[in-house]
Each structure stands twice: as structure tokens, then as C-alpha cells.
Structure 1
Amino acid sequence: MARTDAIVLGAGIVGVSAALHLAKRGLAVALVDRRAPGEETSYGNAGIIEGNTYFPYPFPRKISALLKIAFKQAPEANYHLFYLPRLAPWLFAYLRHSSGDAMFEFAERMRPLFAASIAEHESLMREANAERYLRTNGWLKIYRTSRAFDAAKPDLDAIAAAGLAFEPLDLGGSLALEPGLSPVFERGIFWPQAASVSNPLAVTRAYAALFKSLGGIVLTGDARSLHRSDGRWRVDTSEGPVDASNAVIALGPWAPEVLDPLDIRLPLEVKRGYHRHFHAEGNKGLNRPVLDAEVGYAVVPMEQGLRLTTGAEFAHRDAPPTPVQFDRLMPQARALFPLGEPIDAEPWMGRRPCFPDSMPVIGRAPGQAGLWLDYGHAHWGLTLGPVSGRLLAEMMTGDVPFTDPAPYRAERFLA
């Protein structure tokens, strides 16, 4: 095989973006995955590019909310009981990082990535001839009660102070944006500094096609075969072994399978999530993603139909699917929007790779020369894939990084 400068392991939106940015800087890159680009978690997300994100996803604090989750009545969360003992240390760490001063630390450290996320996608979409998938009309968050809207005011005040734009709406203003919704809620917030895509899988495939047009190669292989060989990194593929001086781990929830044998053990856990596509009844439709804040799901117009996405499920990554959250949320979802029959035979399940501080790891792997990390993007893999790929490529090629990469170092977990 011809000279290879870098192997990127993982062909989701994060890995494809990293490989593409490296190829744009003149490196010979091999992108390796067991499946075709975009067919795992990158396929099933809500399609939102969240340039407006400021705080991490909160941990429920109200006793009533915690009790609903505990008794498996909450649409926004589910759990497997036997997994909780293993998960407990991570959950407590997540709780610490999603409250108080830690929320503002997250905001300060992550804002450069979120602020650049839409522009990075727009740039790649122009080059990849994929602009037809992009919507730049924001998204709508609805609140069924004014009480819930008022409870969000402290966070909204902080977001406004940071200069992020949003528009509080009454029922009439919300329905003016989305006339297909039913008036079963009281307030809304329109977030204009967000974009969305109508087909996340197609976007990832378009970026992969652009990568190949720049000379990159896409190979089928097992990332777990990564090892040292004569001072270089080697991975086995269907076309034989591939060697390179640099390797990038962009495997999302599967990264520990490669990193643990290399004595790189970082506190990654998985938030599982589900989606299912539905027809719309009559001539109703949606113009943009809509999040039902109190119930904890999103309904998003996609090329495949209206995609209904659930909140988090805490379970072993490879445990059998348990999409019970659909049973809990469907009555309220149908009351909000006239969803028709499901298009998919069964709900689809994905796995969000999450660190307890809700930030990805981007940069050098500790103690392993030539090994780089780009994973753990939590709920924002689609949002941050291109911008984290750019940052990683700048670091790997010696360019001046567009933002300080220090907050994303793996060593923050090893001190």
C-alpha cells in the first residue's frame, strides 16, 4: 500500500471530519471502520447543529423528577437497574459537573467550539456539494407550562449575558413559527443561532466522498487490531495491514476497546438513545426541529419522515434495546403534533459517548507517541465533528490552533 501518514479509526461524523481535515492539509490518510461511513450513532441523531449551546445537559435535581425516573415513569430517561452500580461513580461526577460553577466552566471552555460549529459545517458542505441538506432557520423549544418556562429564566439570563441570541415566545408566536403544532403548551423559545440537517447520514457520506476526492482511502477493518510495528502504528484491514506514524482514535463509544489495552483508561460512559420515523397526518408539517422541554424528546423533519428522538437511557453499551421511552412519550407527542403511522418497523438505537464533564477529548494520547484522541462528544457529535476535526488537524500538522486546545486534553482526567 502507498505511503500513509495517518490512520483514523472510526468513520462516524467525528472520524470522517478529522480524516477530511487532515487530507485537506496534504496528509495521506486511511479511514478505517468495520462499517461504512456514518452508519452507527451518526445515523440516528436529531440533526441539530447546536451553535447556541451554552450549558451542559443538566442532571435532574427536583425530587419529583428523580422519583419519576426512579419509578420508570419519565419519558426523558430510562435505566437498567443492574447497570447502576457500575454507573454510580460516573453519575456522581456528572452531577458535579452539571451544576454551579462547573456549568460556567463548561460554557467558557466549550464556547469556542460551539461558536464555530455552523461555519465549519457550512464550509465543508459547500466543498462536498451537500448544502441541500442544511437548514439555517434555528430550532424551537416549547414549554407546556409557564412555570417550567419561568424555571429556566436563570439559565436564560446567563445565556443572554454571554451574548447568545434567543427569542422568548408566547403561544401565538410559537404557532406562527410552527403552525402544525397543537396549542397544548404555553411558551416557547426560538433559537436562531442553530442549524439542522435533513439527513445526517447523507451529510456524513458527503464528507466521506469529499475526503476520497482528496486522495483519502476508506477501508474496512477492526480497530482492535491497532498495535505498534517497527515504531509505527498498524491496523489490519480487508486489504491488508496499514501502517502510519500517526493514528487517531475517533471511535466514540467503542474507543475503550482500543485504548484500555494501551493503559489509557478514561471515564467514558454511554447514554443510549432511540429514534423512530413517522408519517405526518393530513397536510401538517414542521419547518425546523422542535424540542418538548418538559417531556424530553425532539421531533425533527427528515428526508426519511418525522424523526422522533428520545432522551437518555443508562445501560450497558451492548445490552439489548429497550425502547420503552416511546411508550411513555407517544401520547404527549401525538397531542403536540399529528403523527401518523410509524415508517420504521422498529425503533433505532444509538450510543452517545459521554465524559462526566460533557466535554470531548481532543489531542495527544498520554504516553503513546503518535496516537491522537478525538472522541466523547456526548450529545454534540454532529455539531462538533467538523470543528473538532479542524482543531485536531491543526495540532497534528503544527498549525496554530484556532482556539486553545488545553481544556480538551485527556490529562484532565489523570491528574
Structure 2
Amino acid sequence: MARQTVVLGAGMVGVCIAWHLRQRGHDVTLVDRLEPGRETSFGNAGIIQREAVRPYPFPRDIKTLLSVLPNRRVDIRYRLAGMINAASPLLRYWMNSAPKAYQKIVPEYASLIQLALKTHGPMIEAAGAEHLVRRDGWLELYRTPEKLVARLKDAEEARRLYGVQFEELDRAALIVKEPALSGNIVGAIHWLDSWTVADPGALVAAYAQAFNRDGGRIVQADIQSVQQIGDRWQVKTPSETIEADNVVVALGPWAGNWLKELGYRFPTFVKRGYHMHYATQTPAKLNYWLMDAEVGYLLAPMNAGVRLTTGAQLDRLEALADAKQLDAAEKVARSVFPLGERRDEAPWKGARPCLPDMKPIIGPAPRHPGLWLAFGHGHQGFTLGPATGQLLADMMEGKETAVDMAPFRADRF
């Protein structure tokens, strides 16, 4: 008899776990309050980042820290209440960003990133989603030669250690690819391996539809409670109680709060982000995904228009939106590329689920047999969803995994 599993959370991570389990013959129900791909996975930059072998560390040099204090930067903003609320995990994050600790984290993190393309590929094919995906990489823009040179040293190391492919573009080569860019940009790195997605939410929805076509069940409902009775699990929604052998918590930014009900206190915090879509000024056309690396925002030519995504805002998960960071990013972006009018009625707001050592939790819960955890992917849940699905399915079936999963154990906290 097939094992029964309920996956909580229908973002990229949860959908991919459900798909992998269903591919192996499990009886799987996917539960979320919204349709698949409509929360955090909806609003990201839409890059499957094969080049992102290093997680984002917390700035440690005094000059950068002092520049953050006035709270006017584009790449990072904060609210005092959010900083106080997350003080302990943020302090641990800062400590893990020290060179010695960070050097240990990078190869562990990179082991997941290296699986990104080979795990997305079969899912894209199964979902019939090739029309959403481009395989020509993205551009990381620089305004000063010195910072471009420094970044190229990092890129060379990433190529040597992790097989990341890239090309350096001087101003002339860059303008061939993006003729509408302003003179502020002196050069770029063209990351060649990474794939881009013209509608991130639609890709998650396509993966979910493939799961559903293969016999998986999708329930759109609020989760009222999760409890273990004997060796079985019960997930209650307003309309039914779903029983299962296993429950997978893939609730992204909400996972930490939900798991408190079961006695777990994981040091979760969020980095919030915003996006807005724009028209372009005729005859300008944006050809590639562009990151203004020295400022900290990204422009992406998506189906809905040119999407501008902001950097990080440190705040409480459910705090009211603050459009100032988006407004600041838009002002700078208009000086780089000729954006037209806004296309959305209001900015979209989401939150990246983070843990203080920059790595996700993937694996069994320490004290509850049949409870499995997959959250805390930070900036890379969209990139790492399929890899997480494959790895967790292997763990649940007692099979050997493609990478060492010890660095991602829940009991490390």
C-alpha cells in the first residue's frame, strides 16, 4: 500500500516535494490557503541561479554597516521593530558571516546549488513549461571597474571550484546585448549557466498541474491544525480532516510559527522584498535579466512587463508594506534603463524564509516520527525547490542522497 503524505505549502519547494513523492508512487495531498505559486514563489526575480554557489552573508565591514544605518540604501532596509523581533537570529547570522564560519558554509550550500539545473530540467519537461524558460543566462552590471575586477575574482573561483560558467563583458560588448543601457554602466558579468523564467508563479503552477495530472491531490484551504495521533498524522482544514503517515512542512516564511505548535523553536527570520512591473519607453527593449550589483535591485523582462525586484527589508513577516525601498530602486533604475509607466495597481510584497547559518532545513523533525521539514531557503527557494524535492524524497524512502544531508539537519539548532 502506498504511503500517504500531506505536504503543507504550495510554493516552489512544497510543489516539488509533492511531485517527486508522487513520481515514486506515494499517495500525496498538497495543501495551501492559496493556489500553487501565489505566495513567495510568485514574486521573485525568476532566475534559476546555478551561479549562486555562495549564500548572501551579512555585511561585516564598518563602512558598509555605517552606510546601512541611515536606512536609505536600495539593497537593504530595516524597521526597528523587525530588527528587535529578529535580534537573536540576526546576531547569529552576522557571526556566521565571519570568514572562518562562512568558508565552511559555502561548499555545503554549493552542493545544493549544483543540483539546480539537473533537477529543474525533468520537471520543466514533465510540466510542458519550456515556453516559460530561457537558457541564455543573466547579466550582473557594474558601475566601477574596481568592483567588477573584484567580482571577477570571485567568479573565477566559482568556476574553478564549482564549475560555474561566465563571460566578462566590457562596455562595448555589453551594449551589443543591451543597447538601451545608460552610460553609468562600465561592464558586466554574463552568468552563462543560469536559466530565467518569464513568469515564476506560472512555472510553479505548471509543476503543480503536472503533479495533479499524475494523480496528486491539491487542496486549497486554510490549515487549522496539525497533530500526531499514535503513528498517524491529522491535518485539519475547515472542510475536512486529512490523515496521513507523513507530513511535510514546506511553509516557507510561516514554517517557524507553525512548528511552535509542535514544540519546536527554530531561529527563523525573514527578508522581505517588493516588485513592480513597468512598460518600456519606445523603442527600448530589455533583452536580459539585469542586476545593478552596486546598488542592489534587478530588472527582468517578464510576461507581465519589466519586473523590478528590490533587495532585502528586515522586518516582521506580517508588518504593513513600505514602498520607500521600491520607490528608491525605481528612481535609480530609470537612470539606467528607460522604464515606462507602472503596470500594477500596488507593489507586490513577499518574504524570503531565512535561517542564521544561511542553509535550509531539509530532513526529519528531531522528535516526531513521520514529520519532515523543508524550509529556510532564503533567496533561493525558487532555484532549490526541485533539488529539495528529490533529496527529501530520497530521505523519506531511506535511499542514498546525491549530497551529504548532515549540514541541513534540523537538530543543528
- With the shorter chain as reference, the TM-score category is over 0.9
Which has the larger displacement, 119-128 or 364-373?
119-128
Q: Is the contact made by 2:60 and 2:94 (CA closer than 8 Å) also made in structure 1? A: no
Runs of at least 5 residues in structure 2 that lack an aligned partner in the other structure:
none
Q: Is the contact made by 2:50 and 2:114 (CA closer than 8 Å) also made in structure 1? A: yes
Opposite residue 314 of structure 1, the aligned amino acid is L
Aligned counterpart, 1:161: 160
1:361-372 aligned at under 5 Å gives the runs: 361-372=361-372
Is 1:36 paired with 2:12?
Answer: no
Is 1:173 paired with 2:173?
Answer: yes
Is 1:138 paired with 2:157?
Answer: no
The CA distance in 2 between the partners of 1:55 and 1:42, in whole Å, is: 21
Q: Is the contact made by 1:75 and 1:328 (CA closer than 8 Å) also made in structure 2? A: yes
Opposite residue 200 of structure 2, the aligned amino acid is P
The CA distance in 1 between the partners of 2:9 and 2:169, in whole Å, is: 41
Deviating beyond 4 angstroms after TM superposition, the runs of 4 or more aligned structure 1 residues are: none
Opposite residue 410 of structure 2, the aligned amino acid is A
Q: Is the contact made by 2:12 and 2:382 (CA closer than 8 Å) also made in structure 1? A: yes
Question: What is the CA-CA distance between 1:157 and the residue it aligns to?
Answer: 4.2
1:245-394 aligned at under 5 Å gives the runs: 245-394=245-394
Is 1:218 paired with 2:218?
Answer: yes
The CA distance in 1 between the partners of 2:108 and 2:371, in whole Å, is: 23
Which has the larger displacement, 95-104 or 351-360?
95-104
Aligned counterpart, 1:107: 106
Is 1:242 paired with 2:264?
Answer: no
Question: 1:262 is paired with a residue of what secondary structure?
Answer: coil
Q: Is the contact made by 1:269 and 1:354 (CA closer than 8 Å) also made in structure 2? A: yes
The CA distance in 2 between the partners of 1:114 and 1:75, in whole Å, is: 26
Count of matched residue pairs:
412
Question: What is the CA-CA distance between 1:238 and the residue it aligns to?
Answer: 4.6
Shift in alpha-carbon separation, 1:88–1:150, aligned structure 2, 3 A: farther
Q: TM-score, normalised by structure 1?
A: 0.95
The CA distance in 1 between the partners of 2:179 and 2:51, in whole Å, is: 23
Q: Is the contact made by 1:47 and 1:196 (CA closer than 8 Å) also made in structure 2? A: yes
RMSD of Structure 2 on Structure 1 (CA): 1.7
Question: What is the CA-CA distance between 1:174 and the residue it aligns to?
Answer: 1.7
Opposite residue 13 of structure 2, the aligned amino acid is V
Residue by residue over 1:143-164, the C-alpha shift from the partner in whole angstroms, topping out at 9 and shown as x without a partner, is 1111322343553343233132
Opposite residue 35 of structure 2, the aligned amino acid is A
Which has the larger displacement, 54-63 or 184-193?
54-63
The CA distance in 1 between the partners of 2:174 and 2:326, in whole Å, is: 25
Question: What is the CA-CA distance between 1:327 and the residue it aligns to?
Answer: 2.4
Q: Is the contact made by 2:276 and 2:348 (CA closer than 8 Å) also made in structure 1? A: yes
Aligned counterpart, 1:88: 87
Residue by residue over 1:333-381, the C-alpha shift from the partner in whole angstroms, topping out at 9 and shown as x without a partner, is 0111100000001110001000111111000011011000011110001
The CA distance in 1 between the partners of 2:339 and 2:99, in whole Å, is: 39
Runs of at least 5 residues in structure 1 that lack an aligned partner in the other structure:
none
The CA distance in 2 between the partners of 1:60 and 1:337, in whole Å, is: 28
Residue by residue over 1:232-251, the C-alpha shift from the partner in whole angstroms, topping out at 9 and shown as x without a partner, is 11111354110001000000
Shift in alpha-carbon separation, 1:237–1:224, aligned structure 2, 3 A: closer
Question: What is the CA-CA distance between 1:6 and the residue it aligns to?
Answer: 0.2
Question: 1:223 is paired with a residue of what secondary structure?
Answer: coil
Question: 1:32 is paired with a residue of what secondary structure?
Answer: strand
Q: Is the contact made by 1:264 and 1:366 (CA closer than 8 Å) also made in structure 2? A: no
Q: Is the contact made by 2:224 and 2:237 (CA closer than 8 Å) also made in structure 1? A: no
Residue by residue over 1:105-158, the C-alpha shift from the partner in whole angstroms, topping out at 9 and shown as x without a partner, is 222112222112112111101111111111110110011111322343553343
Q: Is the contact made by 1:55 and 1:103 (CA closer than 8 Å) also made in structure 2? A: no
The CA distance in 1 between the partners of 2:355 and 2:224, in whole Å, is: 21
- Name the % identity: 42
